[in-house]
Structure formats: C-alpha cells, structure tokens
Amino acid sequence: MTSASPRLEMLGISKTFGQHRVLSEVDLVVGPGEIRGLAGQNGSGKSTLIKILTGVHRPDPGSTIRVDGAPLDLPVRWTAAHAAGIAVVHQDLGLLDHLTVAENVCVGGFPTRHGRIDRRRRDRLAARTLERIGADVSPLAVVGELTAAERAEVAIARALRDHAPGGGLIVLDESTRLLRGADLERAHTLLRRLAETGSSILLISHSMSELQSLPGRVTVLRDGRVSADLGVTVEPISEARIARAMLGDAVDEFRRGTRARPADDVPRVRVEGLTGAHVREAAFEIGRGEVLGITGAPASGYEEIPLLLTGARAARAGTAQVGEHSVDLTRAGVRHALRAGIVLVPERRDRDGLALELSVADNVTLPRLGSRSRFYLSRSWRDRQAARAIRDHGVRPAAPRALVRELSGGNQQKALLAKWLSAQPVLLVLHEPTQAVDVGARRDILARISAAADDGASVLVVSSEADDLAAVCDRVLVCTSEGDLVETSSTDSAVLLDHVFATYTEERS
C-alpha cells in the first residue's frame, strides 16, 4: 500500500452469465476521499460490478481488483473485501425496524464478553461510530421510529463501523433513493464530510440531480462497457451528458396533454371516508380516463393510501365505488379488490409484486389466467403475451423464459408494470412507479400510464416525485400533516413542491 495508490482499482472486469456477457473489460478507479458516481441504464451492469467487488459473483479471467494498491484475490472473499475497507449500503438499507440504533449499527460485529453480547460496549461502539460520521441519532432509539434521513445515517454508520477513520470505500447502491428534500440534503452533507476525512464513496444512482450535484466524476456504463467518464474539470456534469452517455441520445421529457373533463362525466371511482392509521376520512373521485396524483411530505402517511385502497391493508373505515362494484375497505382483501377491477403496482416489487422464481412470461400472464379457460393456457399463448409485454415495456433481456430474479432492478419494475397493465384494470393504482428506473425507462413508464388512462382506466399515482406527478396527472391531492387531502391549485411541479413543503414545515412547527 502506498499513499499515492487509488483507493479502489477495478481493471478489465468482465462477467458472463451463460452465453450472456454482461460486463466487458470495465475499468473503474476511485481515489482516496473521492465521491464517484456510477450511472447507467437499467441492466447496464452496475449491480453486477458491485457484486463482483463484494464476492457475490466470480469475474471472468483477466479481471483485476486492487484496494489501496494491494490486490484482492479473485473471486473476492467478502471477509477480505471487508478487511480491506469495502462496505456496501444496499437499496433497502437492510435495517431491522424493531431493534435499536445500537443493535442495528452492531449487526454482524457485536462486541461479546464470555460468549454473550456486551451491551455496554455495543452501545458505546454505536455512539462512537455515529459521532464519528456526525450523525445526530440516539443509539437507544428504535429504528422503526426514525426519519428516512436518520435511517440512512444508521445504515452508513453500520457500513463504516469497523473502518479506520479516513479510510475505506463505501458503496451506496441506490441507497439514497428514498430520501427527498431536506433529508437528501442531510445525507449529502454527511457524505461530503466523510469524503473530506479521506473515505471514498461510490454512489450508484438514477437521480440526475443527485449525479449532477454530489460526485466530482461520474462513470457511465452502457451495455456492460464504460461509455463515459464525466468530470467537472472538463465540462459540468449535466443531465443531457449523462443521458447521452447512457442511452446514446438525450431524452425528451414526457408530458401528458391537458384534457378537459366533460361536464356530464360521472366519476367511475368514488372513495369515501377512507381512514387508516394516518389518513382521516379521505374522499376523492376519479373519472374514466383520468389520472389523479396523491403526494405529501416524506413518511407523512399518504403512503398507506395505495395499500388501503387495494385490500393489501384493512382500512379502519371507508368504501370505494368502482364502476358497479361497491367495496367495503375495512374488510376487503386483495381478491375482493381484484374482482372489482382494482389493481396495485406496489412500491416493493421484490416483496409484494413479482414471483421472483418464476419466468417473465409466467409473471406477466398471471393476472389473466383467471379469465382464460384451461384449454387456452398453452405455453405459446403465454409466450406471445409475454413477448408483447416485453416489447411494449422494453424489458431487457427480451427473453420470456428468463427468471425474474435474474433481471436487473429496473427491468423488474418494467415487468411489474407489464404484469398489472395486462389485467386491463378499471382502477389502476401505482405506488412510486418510477423508482429505480433510468431516465429512458422513466419516460416510457409515464407514457404507458398515460396510455392506460387514454384506454379508459381510472388511474391513481401515489408518488413523492413531483416531476412524475406534473408529467402525468390531471389533478393532484396533497396529504396534510392532519391526514386530510387537499387539491393543489395546479399540477406544475414547483407548485406541488410548495404545497408539500408547506405541510412539511407545518408538521415540524
């Protein structure tokens, strides 16, 4: 190890799954104290590269990895990577909500005494680590009760727990994606502070604004190769440059045209008295072909609406009239909701939305099986349906029989949307539909949501992304700190953010 060595060198990294080469001679170098961005279209190979660094995948021969100048044996053993100072914070942060901050920080490295966890040392270790990274969180707080920013800090503290101060490399694999506004700013401040001490940060993100503001340089992957290494010293890192390097072209914004609601339009969906743990007596209507948005301050509770409305969680009170079906939302299960034509595209695709061990074809045809006689359930029917869904939604690889668990995160999201749109719902409810997808896929998803409405569905988009709501919604409701829904004066994204900000400050005052 020399002080002049880069913190991380991944050189000539290739990876082949079966016949499919997903990484080709990728070079990625990160200096000490550098914040480096890693971007690329869904399926371009970002996660695979990180999985090689952490020992999940064995790279093809010819690959080299060095940390602080010292080579790592390949395939990487996780213990060796950890000892060299590599740490990863995953998308879902991997926190255990019912445990305390100290317990979460020490998971995988509890100090012990006579074979038992030494609680005093555990709490001290957690407090020291949190203080070192400048996180203002009590070690005794229960993680389930923390804000999104505090949760991210706990995950970062855990990742850096065993590192020498000023050393190591922390990989953030889309782990900032749930943070918004002030919470995101707080996480960025912490990351900048860490980098100033000499620790290195590799930030994987689909957020163009984050990639423009946080890293000094951004490596862009395209089809498993490095297509650009963008840096501020050459030219500012702009959204257009990142998009061009990712996709070969800049991406136009999607915007649904304004549509006037006919005066005699009888709303097809009418929700009344909807009450959950946070939402109180919410009422709203959605017309045929209308896209309604609901948003609010992070973790303010509006996030429960998609679950209450689709039978995934029982409401305390409330009914939904959907076409001729009247649904008692206090008793409804997912089956009842489906029978009434209500479909949910959930936020957590891995947990709630897809059968990961089944093929793309099985997943996208699942909602339609009930409406087909067994005689017609041929494999070729499934493959045809799947091929169409794959084409329409741009799922990659375009292989109906590929297992969903082998798709990249963003491609799983596209398969999920394809699955539920194939059900031709009366009421389509989407929760954070563009999470984890690249700029090109985001545009396509918004266009498909709009097309579903044009085909006659009533659509509800529940999202924290003001730009998505502005692009696709005819009207938007904001959930206040009291749990009421208030219609915004326009769907312009600046206006939406003002409304959300007002409820946020209201809540904290």
Ligand X SMILES: Nc1ncnc2c1ncn2[C@@H]1O[C@H](COP(=O)(O)OP(=O)(O)OP(=O)(O)O)[C@@H](O)[C@H]1O
Please report, as ranges, the residues that interact with ligand X according to CB under 6 A: 17, 22, 40, 42-48, 396-397, 406-411
Identity at 441, one-letter amino acid code = A
Nearer to ligand X (CB atom), residue 32 or residue 410: 410
Q: How far is the CB of 441 from ligand X (least distance, A)?
A: 8
Nearer to ligand X (CB atom), residue 309 or residue 436: 436
Nearer to ligand X (CB atom), residue 251 or residue 423: 251
Provide the CA 68 distance to its chain's centre, in angstroms: 31
CA atoms within 13 A on the CB side of 77: 4
**Cβ 42 vs Cβ 410: under 8 Å:** yes
Nearer to ligand X (CB atom), residue 48 or residue 463: 48
In degrees to the nearest 10, what's the CA dihedral of 135, 141, 146, 148?
Answer: 30
Provide the CA 379 distance to its chain's centre, in angstroms: 32
Nearer to ligand X (CB atom), residue 7 or residue 15: 15
Tokens of 482: 């009291």
Q: How far is the CB of 51 from ligand X (least distance, A)?
A: 7
Nearer to ligand X (CB atom), residue 295 or residue 411: 411
Q: How far is the CB of 56 from ligand X (least distance, A)?
A: 9
What sign has the CA pseudo-torsion 69, 70, 75, 77? negative
CA 14 to each of CA 37, 38, 180, 494: distance values in angstroms, whole numbers, following the listed order: 20, 17, 35, 43
Angle of helix 181-197 relative to helix 493-508, nearest 10 degrees? 80
Q: How far is the CB of 40 from ligand X (least distance, A)?
A: 5
The residue behind tokens 């990351």 is: 191
The residue behind tokens 């375009």 is: 398
Q: How far is the CB of 359 from ligand X (least distance, A)?
A: 13
Q: How far is the CB of 246 from ligand X (least distance, A)?
A: 10
Nearer to ligand X (CB atom), residue 356 or residue 502: 356
Nearer to ligand X (CB atom), residue 25 or residue 484: 25
Q: How far is the CB of 348 from ligand X (least distance, A)?
A: 15
Tokens of 26: 């990728």
Which residues make Cβ contacts (< 8 Å) with residue 275, sequence separation at least 6? 281, 282, 315, 316, 317, 318
Q: How far is the CB of 392 from ligand X (least distance, A)?
A: 18
**154-167 burial by CB neighbour count: b if 16+ within 10 A, else e?**
bbbbbbbbebeeeb
CA-wise closest residue to 272 among 224, 309, 236: 309
Say if residue 141 is exposed, middle or buried (CB neighbours under 10 Å; 0-12, 13-18, 19+): middle
Q: How far is the CB of 405 from ligand X (least distance, A)?
A: 7
In degrees to the nearest 10, what's the CA dihedral of 312, 313, 319, 324?
Answer: 10
Helix, strand, coil fractions of the chain, as percent rounded to 5: 35, 25, 40
Nearer to ligand X (CB atom), residue 229 or residue 406: 406
